[in-house]
Amino acid sequence: MAMSTDKQLLIVEDDEGFARTLKRSFERRGYDVLSADSLETVTALLASRRPSFAVVDLKLGAQSGLACVQALHEHDPSMVIVVLTGFASIATAVEAIKLGATNYLAKPSNTDDIEAAFARSGGNPDAPLAPRPTSIKTLEWEHIHEVLKDSDFNISEAARRLGMHRRTLARKLAKRQVG
C-alpha cells in the first residue's frame, strides 16, 4: 500500500531497533517509510524513490551521516532533512546545515520532536541572541568534536590528533554523550 510521495520519509539509521521504532511510529502518522543504514543503501534507494523527508543519524557505524545528508540534498534540494545525533556539537551542526540539513536534533529525540523539526525547516530571524558564557569544558567539548569530525569519527585517530589515550577520549565521550 504505497502512499503518495508527499509523505515519503527516509530513515537513515544503523541502530536497527531505533530505526524500527521510528519507522512504526511514522507509519502510524501516515508516512510511507523507507529505511537505510549506510550511504550505499541511500544511493540505491534514491535510484527509484524520491522521499520528501529524511531523518539521518550523524554516526553510521564507521561512516559519517554527513555524506548521506550531502547525497540527499544533491538528489533533491527541497527535501526536508533532519540530522539526529548523540554527539551534538556546534561544528557538526554547522557542517550538517551547510550540506543541506534543515534541522539538527540531539538524541534522545522522539517522533514528535522530529515532526516538529520538519515543520521548522526555515530559520527564525527573531531567535534570541542572548550571550552565553563559554566554559573551558564547553570549549574542550567543541574541540574534541571538531577533531572527531575531521577524523571521520574514528576515535583512535581523534585521540592521536588530540594527544590523549584512546580510552581517555572514549571515557570523555561516554560521560558527555547526549542520548
Asked if the domains 5-119 and 136-176 are classified in one and the same CATH topology, the answer is no
Note the pLDDT tens digit of each residue in 3-40. Answer: 445 789 999 998 898 899 999 999 999 999 999 999 99
- Whether the ω angle into residue 125 lies within 30 degrees of 0, i.e. cis, is no
pLDDT over 90 at 170, yes or no: no
Residues facing 82 on adjacent strands: 55, 103
DSSP per residue over 55-100, as a string?
EEESEETTEETHHHHHHHHHH-TT-EEEEEESS--HHHHHHHHHTT
Q: Which residue has better confidence, 76 or 126?
A: 76
The grid coordinates listed for 62 are 564507521
Architecture of domain 136-176: Orthogonal Bundle (1.10)
Q: How far is CA 53 from CA 49, 64, 165, 178, in A?
A: 12, 19, 40, 24
pLDDT at 1: 40
95, 142, 87, 122 alpha-carbon torsion, rounded to 10°: -40
Q: What is the average pLDDT across 99-124?
A: 83
* Ranges of each domain in the chain: 5-119, 136-176
Q: In what order do the strands lie in the sheet with 80-85?
A: 32-36, 8-12, 53-57, 80-85, 103-106
Number of other CB atoms surrounding residue 2 within 10 Å:
6
pTM for this entry: 0.70
Predicted pLDDT at 179: 40
Instruction: Quickly name the fold that domain 5-119 has.
Output: Rossmann fold (3.40.50)
